[in-house]
Amino acid sequence: MLYGLHAVREALKAGNRPLQRLLVLRTDKQFTDVVQLARSQRVPIHVQPLASFDRLVSNGKHQGVVAFAAAKAYQTEESILARAAQRNEPPLLVILDGVEDPHNLGAVLRTAEGAGAHGVFIPERRAAGLTSVVAKASAGAIDHIPVARVTNISRSIESLKAVGVWIYGVIPSASKIFTDVDLRGPVGLVLGGEGTGIRPGVLQHCDECVRIPLSGQVESLNVSAAAAIVLFEAVRQRRATQDRPDSSGS
């Protein structure tokens, strides 16, 4: 089940998973584009009273839109790397170690998609999966970025390293600042979960560790904020390379 205007709209726009039916509170201008998208895909539309939405979505953040859809399919490491190759870009990957809060996962997906990352890796156990809450928190980004759910994060890191992806662990105690490393090549960014951060067993598989320098009293940032900062530094570096004049003079 999906709920909220952004989540439902982006699922319809992406077209990656069929919607069985769409429930709307009313069919005024606020819902026009969603209703039109649903009609174009022959999704049955039902106008329902507010009480129906409140029963379906207990937190009340449905915005008067609920859709019943097939579950979001997880991708493989190979398909994510193929996505980067199809774009003729060096892979830019996010690897999450134990992010359990679905709102944090959704926020990371939104950030990663906005930065043009090619995929996100999450563990099967002790971590949030792709739920309706994650879809809502991601503002629909869940339907535009591939997510791989892996049995062993450390093993996946080693597999990525074997094909040339350089793995950076983002931790507060690192000596090197994230802006001082080269993020233009194939890169995987490892970020830890709430409270515990990256586990030592995972950290030892990283090629290098970097930190985000902080000037205040807090010792670390929320995982989605940290992801945004480092991802968009990678974007900045890559764009700077693309925009650099050809030194050969040709």
Find tokens 């990663």 and name the residue: 112
Lowest mean pLDDT across 18-27, 112-121, 160-169: 18-27
pTM: 0.81
**Which tokens in the block code for residue 116?**
């043009």
Query: Using an 8 Å Cβ cutoff, are 193 and 97 in contact?
Result: yes
Contacts of residue 62, defined as CB under 8 A and 6 or more positions apart, other chains included, come to 3, 4, 53, 54, 56
How many Å apart are CA 113 and CA 143, to the nearest integer?
10
Tell me: pLDDT of 94 over 60: yes
Give the mean pLDDT of the chain.
Answer: 90
How many Å apart are CA 97 and CA 77, to the nearest integer?
16
How high is the pLDDT of residue 246? 58
Lowest mean pLDDT across 64-68, 82-86, 87-91: 64-68
| Confidence tier at 72 by pLDDT (50, 70, 90) | confident
How many Å apart are CA 4 and CA 9, to the nearest integer?
8
Query: Using an 8 Å Cβ cutoff, are 147 and 74 in contact?
Result: yes
Express each pLDDT in 126-142 by its tens digit. Answer: 899 998 889 889 988 99
Query: Using an 8 Å Cβ cutoff, are 188 and 154 in contact?
Result: no
Find tokens 């507060």 and name the residue: 172
3-class DSSP state of 247: coil
3-class DSSP state of 47: strand
User: Domain map of the chain by residue range?
Assistant: 2-69, 77-243
2-69: CATH superfamily = Ribosomal protein L30/S12 (3.30.1330.30)
158-169: b (≥16 Cβ within 10 Å) or e = eebbeeebbbbb
Express each pLDDT in 175-205 by its tens digit. Answer: 999 999 999 999 999 999 887 899 999 999 9
77-243 sits in which CATH class? alpha beta
Please give the average per-residue pLDDT across 84-88, as a whole number.
Answer: 97
Tell me: pLDDT of 90 over 60: yes
